[in-house]
Homo-oligomer: A and B are copies of this chain.
Amino acid sequence: MPKQNTVFKDAYNRCLRLLVVGESLPSEPELCNLLGVSRTTVRSILSQMVEAGLIEWNKRSKAVQRSPVKADFFPEHETNSLSEVIERTFMKRILIGGGEPGMQINELELAREIGVGTTSVREFLIRFSRFGLIEKRPNSHWVLKGFTRQFAEELIDVREMFELKSAAAFVSLPAEDPAWVELEALRRAHVEVLADIDSRYLEFSELDDRLHRLIQQASGNRFIIDFYDIIAIVFHYHYQWNKANARERNGKAILEHLDYIEALKTRRPEAVEAACRLHLSSARLSLMQSLSTAA
């Protein structure tokens, strides 16, 4: 089985949502933009839709015949790319299941467990190794270094350096920079979630990601921006399986974010640094606490 056709399936599903009975789908190039795939894939989708009796397709006209029903969609798990599947399985294994430091990682075993070829696993591990959680012994196995307190501390130390630098750069952004607009949008989103915190506290993760990425972006430094990927993935998976005190933790963090955003808006470096430090040390504390309860 070369290449899964997950790109096709995912785009097909998304394309189904564009169908409006009586109307015609837009041109092929336009669909490419809408779906973010190449024309070849768009044409496969159109062909398939003809087969399914969803549209009549003749040159420029792509008349919609009926609305899609549930059975028209591909099952969601078939739309995940291989690397996503591998990543999830792997993270589950090392963050939950026995992820003792020093453990050996076996490419073949992992591949069999997930049901994919060794090449895919290998490439995943290589990509993943930049996160500092695993290490390769050449001509031999990988070693799991483990999501330990030590790891968390090293990660957060660098994060603090970078975030302070980025936040400082943020205040010198010109007034017309789109980041200011986005910052205001984010502030509103925070306020909205806060207003209904008891039922929406889980949305914090997304806000957190957006805010911090926006700030790192201001550094204009690819190493700083790329580093945030490590933080994001670690926080993402860790808190996904570790929801103790999430309501309380997230509520507090949203308030800190709002202070941080206000500080950025004043453009006063000292105010920004203070708010930034406050939030970061609180985030550090939460992570370390959740680590000790987990262990």
Contact = CB atoms under 8 A, between A and B. Distances in A.
Contacts of A226: 130, 132
Nearest to A129: B127
B158 A221 contact: yes
A185 interface: no
Nearest to A140: B38
A265 interface: no
Given A119-B119, A122-B123, A161-B161, A139 B222 contact: no
A155 B223 contact: yes
Contacts of A119: 119
A201 interface: no
Interface string A100-137: 00000000000000000001001100110110100000
Interface string A246-278: 000000000000000000000000000000000
Nearest to A155: B223
Contacts of A158: 221, 223-224
B130 A130 contact: yes
Nearest to A119: B119
Given A122-B123, A123-B122, A161 B165 contact: yes
Given A7-B139, A165-B161, A132 B227 contact: no
A78 interface: no
A83 to B, nearest CB: 9
Contacts of A129: 127
Interface in A173-223: 220-223
Contact of A223 (B127, B154, B221): B154
Contact of A132 (B123, B126, B223): B223
A157 interface: yes
A119 B154 CA distance: 33
Q: Which 4 A-B pairs have the closest CB atoms?
A: A154-B221, A130-B130, A158-B223, A132-B222
23 contacts: A119-B119, A122-B123, A123-B123, A123-B126, A126-B126, A127-B129, A130-B130, A132-B222, A132-B223, A132-B226, A145-B222, A151-B222, A154-B221, A154-B222, A154-B223, A155-B223, A157-B221, A158-B221, A158-B223, A158-B224, A161-B161, A223-B227, A223-B230
Interface of A: 7, 119, 122-123, 126-127, 129-130, 132, 139, 145, 151, 154-155, 157-158, 161, 165, 220-224, 226-227, 230
